[in-house]
Structure 1
Amino acid sequence: MRDEPFGGAKLALLTGRGLVSILRDDVPRIAWPGHWDFAGGAREGRESPSACVLRETREELGLELDPGRLIWRRTYLNSNGRPVWFFVARIGAAEIARIRFGDEGQGWAVMPVADYLAHPKGIGQIKERLADYLAVQPGA
């Protein structure tokens, strides 16, 4: 999997009935400015999809997660037809208390899953990918 090309990875961090979301910077040079996103980003070097998303989570939220915490994963094609990965992990209150926000974005929040899915500033394809997970994990 390490040598297969992919553009990047995102991680839905679920906690109870909520999830951790990051408010993107509101600058025109980035995709989805001022929208609520999940931890993740572009691949660096030849890292694997899980290494990519765990590094981005560490950089953006200060959380060190073991790869075994990734409970669901699926590839999708982005708007350029390039594969991207979507992961899901569960975290608890103690880990939320340890979040140390990085230098990308305006802030972070834990919001109810339903609120994210209905939020006008939620990113469409991220909502769809989260909904895919919820469809196969009833009650998640």
Structure 2
Amino acid sequence: MHSETTATEEPTAARGAVAIITNRRGELLLHLRDDLPEIAWPAHWSVLGGGCDPGESPADAIVRELDEEAGLTVENLTELFEITDHRGSGQIITFFSGFWDGDEADLLLAEGVKLQFFAPDYLDILTIPPFIREGIYRCLAAKPS
């Protein structure tokens, strides 16, 4: 009897997407995460985003996540780069940038504690996951002055 050997596929790494949103003053929209032990990076300031659903692209995921988490629609999201969250979820995170010049108090926060714009000067005093901090600094360094 002949037995066929099929190659087993390597499981694909979990993926996620986040958006670095800035306004006309160059401030960044940050999201204070819930303080729940079952989530990655509880009680940390982060950027909006989340995991990709099965079969969903990071570009589709970020549009969905912005709407679900904050009722936010951002035109002209630009894909930047990927960073792996080695110390948290383990996901490969695709970073996007976008522009939104509204009032964060008008957003409908569905997850987390708070949304707030911060000037880049405040980043060093906030508790931010290391991979998010790296992504923000890479994004800011690439923008023309």
**Length-normalised TM-score, structure 2:** 0.79
Greater helix share, structure number? 1
Q: 1:36 to 1:81 in 2, by over 3 A?
A: closer
Shift of 1:83: 2.6
Q: Is the CA contact 1:72–1:89 (under 8 Å) kept in the aligned structure 2?
A: no
Q: For 1:15-94, list aligned pairs within 5 A.
A: 15=23, 16-66=25-75, 69-79=76-86, 82-93=91-102
Bigger Rg, which one: 2
Percent pairwise identity: 29
Q: Is the CA contact 1:62–1:98 (under 8 Å) kept in the aligned structure 2?
A: no
The one-letter amino acid of 2:18's match is K
Corresponding residue to 2:109 among 79, 101, 104: 101
What runs of 5+ residues in structure 2 fail to find an aligned partner?
A: 1-11
Shift of 1:78: 2.8
Shift of 1:129: 0.6
Whether 1:14 aligns to 2:41 is no
Q: Is the CA contact 1:72–1:87 (under 8 Å) kept in the aligned structure 2?
A: yes
Over aligned residues, Cα RMSD in angstroms?
2.1
Q: Is the CA contact 1:71–1:87 (under 8 Å) kept in the aligned structure 2?
A: yes
Secondary structure class of the residue paired with 2:107? coil
Q: Is the CA contact 1:24–1:36 (under 8 Å) kept in the aligned structure 2?
A: yes
Q: Is the CA contact 2:74–2:100 (under 8 Å) kept in the aligned structure 1?
A: no
Query: How many Å separate the matches in 2 of 1:106 and 1:92?
Result: 21
The one-letter amino acid of 2:119's match is P
Query: How many Å separate the matches in 2 of 1:28 and 1:119?
Result: 23
The one-letter amino acid of 1:133's match is C
